[in-house]
Chain A
Amino acid sequence: MDLSSLANCLGSPACVVTQVTSGLIIGMLLFLVAAGLTLIFGVLKVINFTHGAFYMLGAYFALTIFQLTGSYVATLLGAALATALVGLAFERFFMSRVYGQNILMQLLVCYGFILIFDDSVKIIWGPEFKSMGMPSTFQVPPLFIAGGVVPPFYLFLVGVTVAIGIALWLVIERTRFGKTVRAAAHNPSMVSALGVNTGILYGLVFALGGLLAGFAGALAAPVRSLTPGMGFSILIESFIVTVIGGMGSIVGAFVGSLLIGLIRTFGSVGFPLFTEGLMYLFMVVVLIAKPTGLFGKEVA
Chain B
Amino acid sequence: MTGNRKSRLDRRTLLKGTSAAAIGIIGAPLIARGQAKPIKIGMPTILSGRVAQLGASSRNGVMLEVEKVNAAGGLAGRPIEMVIRDSKGAPQEAARVARELVNSDGCEILIDAEASSGAFAVHEVARDLKVLCLHTNSETSSLTADPKLRIPNAFRVARQGIHDSIVGGGYAAKIAEAKKLTKWMTCSPDYAYGRDTTAQFIEYLKHFKKDIEVVGEAWPKLFQPDYTEVVTKILQTKPQAMYSCLWGGDLTSFIDQGNIYALFTQIETFAVNMADYTALTVVKNLPKGIHSGNRYIKTFPKTAANAAWGDAYRAKYKEYPTNWAWQNATVIQFLAAAAKKVNSADGAKLAEALRGLTIESPFGTDGKLTLRAEDQTLVGYAIGWGTTIPAEPYVPETTAGDWKQITELEAEWKKKNNYT
Contacts and interface: CB of A to CB of B under 8 A. Distances in A.
A276 interface: yes
Nearest to A267: B229
A9 B232 CA distance: 12
Contacts of B224: 233
Interface string A204-222: 0000000000000000101
B257 A223 contact: yes
B262 A142 contact: yes
B276 to A, nearest CB: 12
A132 B52 CA distance: 20
A76 B98 CA distance: 46
Given A22-B229, A128-B53, A223 B256 contact: yes
Given A22-B229, A223-B257, A15 B236 contact: yes
- A-side interface size class: 35 or more
Given A151-B261, A153-B260, A227-B249, A127 B53 contact: yes
Interface string A119-146: 0000000011111111000110110000
A151 B256 CA distance: 12
A9 B249 CA distance: 30
B400 interface: no
A183 interface: no
A154 B229 contact: no
Contacts of B56: 127
Nearest to B55: A127
Interface string B56-67: 100000000000
A229 B236 contact: no
A223 B253 contact: yes
A19 B232 contact: yes
A275 interface: yes
A18 B235 contact: yes
Contacts of A290: none
A225 interface: yes
Interface residues of B, number: 38
A233 B256 contact: no
A148 B41 CA distance: 58
A23 B261 CA distance: 15
B267 interface: no
A25 B52 contact: no
Nearest to B230: A268
B284 A18 contact: no
A31 to B, nearest CB: 14
B264 interface: no
Contacts of A133: 256, 284-285
Given A127-B52, A151-B261, A25 B256 contact: no
Given A19-B232, A225-B252, A276 B285 contact: no
A26 B229 contact: yes
B92 to A, nearest CB: 20
Interface stretch (B24-32, B177-185, B215-223, B334-342): B215-223
Nearest to A22: B228
Interface string A249-287: 000000000000000110111001101100000000000
Given A9-B236, A131-B252, A26 B259 contact: no
B284 A134 contact: yes
Interface of A: 9, 14-15, 18-19, 22, 25-26, 29, 127-134, 138-139, 141-142, 149, 151-154, 220, 222-225, 227, 229-230, 233-234, 264-265, 267-269, 272-273, 275-276
16 contacts: A15-B236, A26-B226, A26-B228, A127-B48, A131-B282, A133-B256, A224-B253, A224-B257, A225-B253, A229-B49, A233-B223, A233-B225, A269-B233, A269-B236, A272-B219, A276-B221
Sorted nearest first, the 5 A-B pairs with minimum C-beta distance are: A133-B284, A129-B249, A128-B53, A151-B260, A225-B249
